[in-house]
Structure 1
Amino acid sequence: MTKKIKRAGKRNAVVLLSCMLATSGCAIDPKTGQASFKETFASEDPCSNNSRNIGLVAGTVLGAVLGHQLKNKGGALAGAGVGALVGGLVGHDMDRKKCELSKLAKKYALDMTFVEVKAGNVNPEATEAKSDTVGLSVSIRDQDSNGHFQVGSDSLSPNAQKYFTEIANEYSYPQQLARLPANASAESRQAVELLKTKRLLIIGHTDDTGNSQLNADLSERRAKALATVFKQAGVSPDNLFFQGAGETLPVADNRSSEGRAKNRRVEIVDLTDDTVFRQYLATRSARTDFYRVEVARPAQAEKSVSVVDRQDVKKDQRLLVAKKMPPKIPVAPVPQVSTSTPATQAQFDFNGKSSSEKIAALDIGPLASPSSFNILPLAQANDTPLARSCEYDKPRIANGVKSFRDSKEIATGDYMPGLYGTSWTDNVNGHLVALTRVAVLRDGGAPAGKPQLLVYKNYTPGSKARPDYSVTPEVNTYKGQKALLYRVFVGGPINCLDIVIPNSDPNASKESWLYYDSDGKPLRANFNPKKLKS
């Protein structure tokens, strides 16, 4: 019992060490004369030391655990001191940014929001945080009366050029080093030094109106233009990245004009180092509950998809290949692709039934939240219904994350087990329908490039027939707690496909559907493809 009390006393002492390391870190309540938890950790003042103080405590606890594992005398206290120092420095830099950027927001009347990036799973209902802060996301909304860019252009307005230059200065190591006063504290100097290893991701976002691909492309050009401002301010191109996310990462509900306005924004994500940056990219996930579900059956694709040749396949693939993975996604063997038959001539009878008849809802379980890194508010597992079928959904397209150094797309993570370069087939009323290059990222559950769809009319097993129809369609993926929904948008003789792949068995689909039109009538046929062996 005595040993347990001593261990508990040490743990409490370690937690309190953050205030002992820097006496200015704990605010005093003027009414009680005691340390104030709210003012120390949850102050509403953007120039408070919230992040620094939280970082001190989180770093202290983590350091104490590591020190205890060393099993050396004084190891716990030594580890606590190192952990508090590192956590405090990260928090100190974050607090400085919040304070200075808040001043700029007021100066230029900007709609700016701050969200901390958390590492690890976070339960918002828990009594204490189980996650460390590893970065800061700053979003600046594109207000109608004060737009960042010229309409439909990637050229910054004169006013935006001014305020984004000042914002960029807050992330620039040369600029911050030059601003340090001669009597700057060691903590301030060390926090500035951390800017050398920071990774900065500039993201362009849109609402969900208009063509999704055009939105992604325009938001990418704007993100790159903004990244140029940061480079000119002194941010190293090696630490600078950009992305056109288009409509895929909303922060508000697209079903309202207010929500859509909040989604039209640029975002600056500041992460502590390259390791954290890579993990963040691999595990971030969209708020799919903010996607707008169509209330009427829309066109099956935003633009018609023509038959593709091999050069188009290579050009449009845009694969997100992870580290230590082969440069190209392998393809399980299927008959050779032919491009001799125009899409307009390819007609297939899939013996379907009216798609207006009621069917059971797609059972993939609640949509899963990210597994490792979160940007709050969290994309919590939710029961928000998806579009009842792919006919009432639309492709949501994002361009990849690119390095500012060479504009090359970078790797973003590993793949889901059994879903790396796979091929799937099913025979529907005598017609072989095949999907190749099916690949899905593990944690975020996002499609890794486009698949290829092949349809063989009246297929004879074992024959060397060439496909009568071939396209590289767009794909949405929805990762549920029970299954993955792989939703394919075609817009040809097949409208779209809903493929449900259970998490428990990623080798076969179930309760999946193929949607198409015949004589102007929308029809639906069972489609339960199985994965081919490589």
Structure 2
Amino acid sequence: MQKKNSKLQISVALACCLVSTGCAVDPKTGQMSFKETFASDDPCANNARNIGIVAGGVLGALIGNQVDKKAGTLIGAGAGALIGGLIGADMDRKKCELSKLAKKYDLELTFTDIPAPSAATQSGAGKAEPALGLSVSIKDQDLSGHFVSGSDELQPKALKYFTEIAAEYSYPQQLKKLPPNATAEMRSVVESLREKRLLIVGHTDDTGSSQLNADLSERRARSVAKVFQAAGIQDARIFFQGAGETQPIADNRSEDGRARNRRVEIVDLTDEGAFRQYLAARSVRTDFYRIALGSEVADATAAQQANKASKANSGNIPKQTAKQIAKPAQAQRAKANANAGKAATESSSAPAAVPAITRQAQPSAQTAAALDFGGSPAGSIVPKLDLGAIGTSRSSAGVIGTAQASDTPMSQSCRFDKPRIANGVKSLRDGKEIATSEYMPGLYNTSWVDKVNGHLVALTNVAVLRDGGAPARQPKLLIYKNYASANAKPDYTIEPQVNTYKGDKALLYRVFASGPVRCMDIVIPNDSPRSAEGSWLYYDNQGNALISAFNPKIAK
């Protein structure tokens, strides 16, 4: 251990010496100060630059050592320190200049360094990136706010400060500002702006309609993105997103927390590769989500369905194309439904086939109430939804129901959560959402079926992105009352909203509906994503909230 530590100390010392102004000296002691060098409170200090030199040098040395133990280690350390130092220097410059603008306009800024993934990003021997970039959140703090109330029009003051902020990211403007005696490092930092990718994200608190929040925050993010384009930044390097309420940085249970969540975020990534890595690794603080009462879930779902019905009546929804979902594998499932306090009553074999999908009228309240899934009172059971430890995901850590705070949606069932909607990342050049082809195993447009107390419940078009476990699209929910024939038509069809929460053991695919089913908690194991044993279905019957075991499988 001592040998390893001494090597690390030598690497750190070497990296500090690579740039003579990198290491700061404590004026009281005359010695190199760790705090002043790496953690100074001064926004114009060289913290990120010095950290980049060290991280880049160490990682570069490790990578180079794999190629050549002597020359490769030295070359890798030098190249890594140089790259890390330049990335850090650009971050320091922005923090310094933006802090000055914050004082000028009385803004509240939050800086967050974006680290590279745990494994070093490599592009050839000896090259390592210690950081992906910098995130700057600008709180919507004064009474007038960034925007005119209810619109995406920037307030006159906001237009001024966003214009000046955009100038700090603009290659043409920063090139003009370079003094004749600019150092090679200063020139390199400005040149690096040509490869940057900028993502402008609009955020809201969790009050009001989640869909409206997502849409308004997207329009506002696009308005700010256009300011950056006007500053001379190519539209092909600018992206925007309406994240709505889905990415809080503070607890929505307090007014102060909600105020902090209302913000515009500028994410500055070093290049295209860093941009893709960042999108793949984004995580969400779901412990900042508030519990939604059952009535709130019902109201939110009803509003969404009314909106869909309105679109359907206006002819905006295309006709469904028929799809056959083949017979799933035979499985003996006539076992006691112990957790629900009732024996399973479904057939011991899966249905022969789910018939072609056709759009049906929404069922009446009488039809919905008539469906009995053989469940027990919801309050009598506390399901254990074991997702395992959470890394980069859309949820918090632990086993749901035991490891979470008692007042978070993840500590409760889907009855106490609500759909939380975010729009996708779009390019300013064409307004199109960034496409991805990376999906979780078994979750690319798959169909899941289970027979519950004689009623067939099917989910089609289930698609979840591999990185972050975000839903790629809305599925379709079909329910066949007293299912007996493969030629039957569904009695109920809907496109429900979905939240996903990803752990290292399983993915929680949380479905929100209305009618015969209120919501579903589907737990899909990461290592065998073809069967979701231990899932749960919630429904209302004669005014009572009920729960039933639900064990869907992928239809073959």
TM-score computed with the length of structure 2 as normaliser: 0.85
Alignment partner, residue 362 of structure 2: 342
CA distance in 2, matches of 1:460, 1:490: 24
Are 1:384 and 2:382 matched, yes or no? no
1:142-172 Cα distance to aligned partner (Å, 9 max, x none): 1142400011110000000000000000000
Shift of the alpha carbon at 1:422?
1.0
Aligned mate of 1:490, from 497, 508, 513: 513
Please tell me whether residue 514 in structure 1 is matched to residue 534 in structure 2: no
Tell me, in whole angstroms, the C-alpha distance in 2 between the residues paired with 1:340 and 1:393. Answer: 27
Which residue among 355, 369, 382 is the counterpart of 2:391? 369
Q: Distance in 1 between matches of 2:56 and 2:547?
A: 56
SS in 2 for 1:418: coil
In the alignment, what sits opposite 2:345? none
- 2:419 corresponds in structure 1 to 395
Task: Give the superposition deviation at 1:366.
Answer: 4.9
Pair 1:524-2:547 in alignment:
yes
Distance in 1 separating the partners of 2:202 and 2:324: 33
Name the stretch that deviates more: 110-119 or 70-79: 70-79
Report what 1:289 is aligned to: 287
Residues 388 and 397, structure 2, Cα contact 8 Å, conserved in 1: no
The structure-2 alpha-carbon separation of the partners of 1:63 and 1:512, relative to structure 1 and needing over 3 Å to count, comes to closer
Q: For residues 324 and 260 of structure 2, what CA distance do their matches in structure 1 show?
A: 41
Show CA shifts across 1:387-439 (max 9, x none). Answer: 52212110000000000000000035622222121110111222111001111
Q: Corresponding residue for 2:350?
A: none
Structure 1 counterpart of 2:154: 156
Residue 15 of structure 1 deviates from its aligned partner by 2.7
Structure 1 residue identity aligned to 2:189: A
**Displacement after TM superposition at 1:232 (Å):** 0.2
Separation in 1, partners of 2:196, 2:206: 31
Residue in 2 aligned with 1:245? 243
* Rounded Cα–Cα distance in structure 2 between residues aligned with 1:55 and 1:362: 43
State the percentage of identical aligned residues: 58
Q: Following the alignment from structure 2 to structure 1, what is the Cα–Cα distance between the partners of residues 61 and 268?
A: 27
Structure 2 residue corresponding to 1:450, chosen from 474, 488, 505: 474
What's the secondary structure of 1:165's corresponding residue?
helix
Is the contact made by 2:324 and 2:355 (CA closer than 8 Å) also made in structure 1?
Answer: no
**Which residue of the partner structure matches residue 452 of structure 2?**
428
Aligned counterparts of 2:5 and 2:495: Cα–Cα separation in 1: 61
Aligned to 1:219: 217
Alignment partner, residue 83 of structure 2: 86
CA distance in 1, matches of 2:184, 2:196: 19
The answer (yes or no) to whether the contact 1:220–1:245 under 8 Å persists in 2 is yes
SS state at 1:454 partner: strand
C-alpha distance in 1 between matches for 2:442 and 2:117: 25
Q: 1:125: which partner in 2?
A: none
Number of residue pairs the alignment of both structures matches: 504
Shift of 1:9: 6.8
What are structure 1's unaligned runs of at least 5 residues? 123-129, 318-329
Is the Cα contact below 8 Å between 2:84 and 2:129 reproduced in 1? no
Give the equivalent residue in structure 2 for 1:71: 68
Match for residue 205 of structure 2?
A: 207
C-alpha distance after superposition, 1:25-66 (max 9, x if no partner):
001112222111110001010000000011111111122223
Alpha-carbon spacing, 1:67–1:354, altered in 2? closer, same or farther (3 Å): closer
State whether residues 360 and 490 of structure 2, in contact with CA within 8 Å, keep that contact through their aligned partners in structure 1: no
Inter-CA distance 492–503: structure 2 relative to 1 (3 Å threshold): same
Correspondence for 2:115 among 113, 118, 126: 118
- Three-state SS of the structure 1 residue aligned to 2:206 is coil
- Structure 1 residues 331 and 243, CA, compared in 2 at 3 Å: closer, same or farther? farther
Aligned counterpart for 1:17 among listed residues 4, 14, 17: 14
Q: Secondary structure at the match of 2:91?
A: helix
Using the TM superposition, give the Cα deviation of residue 367 of structure 1 relative to its aligned residue in structure 2, in angstroms. Answer: 5.4
Structure 1 residue 340, shift from structure 2 partner: 4.1
Are the structure 2 counterparts of residues 188 and 469 from structure 1 closer, same or farther at C-alpha, using a change threshold of 3 Å?
A: same
Deviation readout 1:212-240 (Å, 9 max, x if unpaired)? 00000000000000000000001111110
5 Å-filtered alignment, 1:23-422, equals 23-71=20-68, 74-121=71-118, 132-294=130-292, 297-304=295-302, 305=305, 333=326, 334-344=354-364, 346-347=367-368, 348-366=370-388, 368-370=390-392, 383-385=403-405, 386-412=410-436, 414-422=438-446
User: Deviation of residue 369 (structure 1)?
Assistant: 2.3
The 3 A distance-change label for structure 1 pair 36 and 379 is farther
CA distance in 2, matches of 1:157, 1:206: 17
State the secondary structure of the residue aligned to 1:442.
coil
AA of the residue aligned to 1:48: A
Q: Which amino acid aligns with 1:358?
A: S
Cα deviation code 1:267-324 (max 9, x no counterpart): 0000111111112112212111111013565342514226877986669x9xxxxxxx
* Partner residue in 1 for 2:341: none
Shift of the 25–261 alpha-carbon distance from structure 1 to 2, 3 Å rule, reads same
Distance 2:253 2:156 in 1: 32
Deviation at 1:471, TM superposition (A): 0.9
Letter in 1 for 2:100: K
From 476, 479, 499, the counterpart of 2:522: 499
Task: Give the TM-score normalised by the residue count of structure 1.
Answer: 0.88
CA distance in 2, matches of 1:87, 1:11: 17
Could you tell me whether the CA contact under 8 Å between 1:301 and 1:490 is conserved in 2? no
- CA-atom RMSD in angstroms: 2.8
291-300 vs 238-247, greater mean Cα deviation: 291-300
Q: For 2:471 and 2:19, how far apart are their aligned partners in 1?
A: 47
For residue 324 of structure 1, what is the aligned residue in structure 2?
none
Q: Match of 1:24, SS? A: coil
Q: What SS does structure 1 have at the residue aligned with 2:11?
A: helix
CA distance 1:314–1:406, shift in 2 (3 Å): farther
Name the CA shift for 1:380/1:236 in 2 (closer, same or farther; >3 Å). farther
CA distance in structure 1 between the aligned counterparts of 2:266 and 2:94, rounded to whole angstroms: 12
Equivalent in 475, 485, 488 of residue 498 of structure 2? 475
Contact 2:454 2:482 in 1 (8 A): yes
> Which secondary structure does the structure 2 equivalent of 1:117 belong to?
strand
Distance 2:472 2:506 in 1: 17
Q: What secondary structure, in the 3-state scheme, does the structure 2 residue paired with 1:80 have?
A: helix
What is the distance in 1 between the residues matched to 2:381 and 2:33?
A: 57
Secondary structure, in 3 states, of the residue corresponding to 1:357?
helix
> Over residues 89-126 of structure 1, what are the superposed CA-to-partner deviations in whole Å (9 max), with x where a residue is unaligned?
1011000000000000010000111000011249xxxx
- 2-side partners of 1:496 and 1:78: how far apart? 57
Comparing 76-85 with 268-277, greater Cα deviation is found at 76-85
Amino acid at match of 1:266: V
